[in-house]
């Protein structure tokens, strides 16, 4: 190419073929056609030979125009010095540099990136007479990586903000649960109350779709509500929050559980009428008289509560074969619900819970089930209501072999305490 490089004329044999390729012609073809930047330098870092692609990279109309020049003629002093130092190291040690990613800073302030490999250039006797290398422009990739890093950073910031909001929502959700329960009659201690309550609420995520409420509507009567929103996480939590708000609005004015559920069903439809997705929640509404222990209850597709009768042993369900159960809230417009009546006598306990307590599996994929809950509940007769609820959860965890639950778990226990004649409630 007329750049002062002396070389013997060699040819490459193609085996049995009669043709042969001239080595110099192969090199010229490579330097002309390759899209990569290929270069050869002497011991002083002066260019001896460059590819056409590198000439275009340097904005030269002819590769020969780079002959005798150095990186300092094309790049910023800082980048040129770094490249020079790398090449001096190769010349002094004979060790190549493979796949180094370099940021190239140009005199006009532009920045580009290349992936570079450099080797020592040897003469016929194996002496180092310079360096040669190949570099590929990776600017687009580096810019894409930088954008991806920015997106990842922004996503991390947004996720942190979302997690903070979810944590706050979880705290708000827990704050809506009772910190202390009403007593009957009002003003007595929990130990003296005709009804004692205990609960445990364990969301499977930062927010949960289960909720319950105990609201006194007189000195003798309390309204109880428990619900389980469809799904998990934020969607289920929003549904539970809507239902809890709707229930609180009417709890003090309604003593008919079936009418309460029917109204909740209608109001939930009104709120979600423009949403094409399916939203539903199972629920139980109950009105209990603290003095007599008599209670009315209505079921909207919820799992059966259990009752432990004092002195009789064993546990029984209130609902048998879904007798009297209405549809889940939100499934049907104008759902029809039916009141049932039962009674807690002194020492009896009632257990309401969501299906997260039932649908727990052990390592053999056997379900804890309603039978597991019943058995655990039956073993709590000698415990206080608070300890009894914790014992039920501990039994479920022991069965599953884990402390976490796949679904939200909400448990509420109601105990009718023994009352002396002088402690009868006033109307």
CATH number of the domain to which 262 belongs: 3.60.40.10
Same domain, 199 and 330: yes
Co-location of 125 and 68 in the same domain: yes
First CA to last CA across the chain, in angstroms?
113
Please report where in the chains the tokens 């930062």 appear, as a residue.
Answer: 206
Same structural domain, 158 and 23: no
**Is residue 265 a contact partner of residue 300, using CB atoms and an 8 Å limit?**
yes
Instruction: Decide if 5 is inside a domain.
Output: no
Phi, psi of 130 (to 5 degrees): 160, -155
| pLDDT computed for residue 19 by the predictor | 56
Quote the CA–CA distance of 23 and 221 in Å, as a whole number: 102
CB 268 within 8 A of CB 246: yes
Residue 6: predicted pLDDT: 44
Q: Pick from 86, 112, 137: which residue ends a domain?
A: 137
pLDDT of residue 2: 33
Tell me which residue range forms the domain holding 57. Answer: 11-137
Return d(Cα 262, Cα 343) in angstroms, integer. 23
At which of 125, 159, 175 does a domain end?
A: 175
Domain count, the chain: 3
Provide the pLDDT for residue 194. Answer: 93
Do 158 and 245 have their domain in common?
no
Question: pLDDT value at position 7?
Answer: 44
Each of the 427 residues of the chain gets a pLDDT tens digit; together they read 333 344 445 555 555 544 556 788 888 889 999 999 999 999 999 999 999 999 998 999 999 999 999 999 998 898 899 999 999 999 999 999 999 988 888 888 888 888 999 999 999 899 999 999 999 988 899 889 889 989 888 888 888 777 776 666 666 666 667 778 999 988 888 888 999 999 998 887 777 778 888 989 888 999 999 989 887 777 777 777 788 888 888 777 777 999 999 988 888 887 777 666 777 889 999 999 999 999 999 999 999 899 999 877 778 988 665 566 889 988 877 889 999 999 999 999 999 999 999 999 998 889 999 999 999 999 998 899 999 999 999 999 999 998 888 888 999 999 998 765 435 555 5
Tokens of 172: 């708000």
Cα separations (Å) of 123 from 6, 50, 68, 95, 352? 11, 18, 19, 16, 89
Largest CA distance in the chain: 122
In a domain, 401, yes or no: yes
Asked if residue 193 is part of any domain, the answer here is: yes
91 lies in the same domain as 168: no
Same domain flag for 381 and 406: yes
DSSP letter at 213 equals E
* Residue 112 is assigned to a structural domain of this protein: yes
Tell whether 166 and 182 lie within a shared domain.
no
Asked if 297 contacts 284 with a C-beta cutoff of 8 angstroms, the reply is yes
Same domain, 343 and 359: yes
Helices (H) then strands (E): counts for the chain: 8, 17
Q: Which residues, including other chains, have CB under 8 Å from residue 50's CB and lie 6 or more apart?
A: 31, 37, 38, 39, 40, 58, 63, 66
Residue 3, in any domain of the structure: no
In a domain, 4, yes or no: no
Give CA–CA dist 281/65, Å, rounded.
Answer: 79
Residues 320 and 193 in one domain: yes
- Does 196 lie in the same domain as 118? no
Asked if residue 116 belongs to a domain, the reply is yes
CA distances from 272 to 72, 140, 243, 261 (A): 70, 48, 12, 16
| Residues 208 and 161 both lie in one domain | no
Both 222 and 75 in one domain: the answer is: no
> Is residue 2 included in any domain, yes or no?
no
């Amino acid at each position: 190419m007329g750049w002062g490089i002396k070389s013997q004329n060699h040819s490459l044999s193609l085996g049995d073929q009669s043709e042969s390729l001239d080595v110099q012609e192969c090199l010229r073809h490579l330097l002309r056609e390759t899209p990569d930047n290929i270069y050869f330098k002497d011991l002083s870092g002066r260019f001896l030979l460059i590819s056409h692609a590198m000439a275009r990279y340097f904005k030269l109309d002819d590769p020969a125009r780079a002959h005798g020049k150095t990186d300092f003629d094309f790049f910023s002093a800082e980048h040129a010095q770094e490249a020079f130092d790398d090449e001096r190291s190769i010349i002094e040690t004979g060790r190549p540099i493979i796949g180094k990613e370099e940021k190239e800073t140009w005199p006009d302030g532009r920045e580009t990136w290349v992936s570079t490999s450099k080797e020592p250039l040897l003469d016929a006797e194996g002496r180092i007479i310079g360096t040669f290398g190949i570099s590929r422009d990776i600017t687009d990739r580096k810019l894409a990586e930088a954008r991806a890093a920015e997106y990842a950073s922004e996503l991390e910031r947004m996720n942190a903000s979302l997690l903070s909001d979810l944590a706050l929502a979880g705290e708000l959700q827990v704050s809506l649960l009772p910190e202390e329960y009403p007593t009957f009659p009002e003003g007595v201690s929990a130990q003296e109350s005709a009804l004692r309550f205990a609960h445990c609420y364990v969301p499977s995520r930062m927010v949960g779709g289960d909720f319950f409420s105990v609201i006194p509507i007189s000195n003798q009567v309390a309204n109880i509500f428990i619900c389980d929103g469809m799904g998990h996480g934020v969607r289920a939590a929003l549904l539970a929050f809507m239902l809890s708000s709707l229930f609180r609005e009417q709890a003090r004015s309604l003593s008919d559980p079936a009418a309460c559920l029917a109204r909740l069903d209608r109001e939930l439809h009104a709120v979600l009428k423009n949403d094409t997705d399916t939203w539903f929640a199972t629920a139980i509404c109950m009105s209990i008289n603290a003095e007599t222990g008599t209670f009315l209850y209505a079921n909207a597709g919820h799992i059966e509560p259990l009752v432990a009768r004092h002195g009789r042993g064993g546990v029984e369900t209130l609902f048998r074969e879904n007798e009297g159960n209405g549809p889940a809230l939100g499934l049907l417009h104008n759902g029809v619900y039916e009141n049932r009546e039962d009674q807690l006598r002194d020492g009896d306990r009632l257990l309401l819970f969501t299906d997260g307590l039932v649908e727990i599996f052990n390592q053999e994929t056997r379900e804890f089930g309603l039978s597991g809950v019943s058995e655990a509940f039956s073993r709590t007769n000698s415990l206080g209501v608070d300890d009894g609820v914790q014992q039920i959860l501990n039994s479920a965890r022991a069965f599953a072999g884990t402390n976490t639950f796949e679904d939200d778990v909400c448990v509420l226990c109601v105990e009718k305490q023994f009352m002396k004649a002088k402690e009868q409630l006033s109307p």
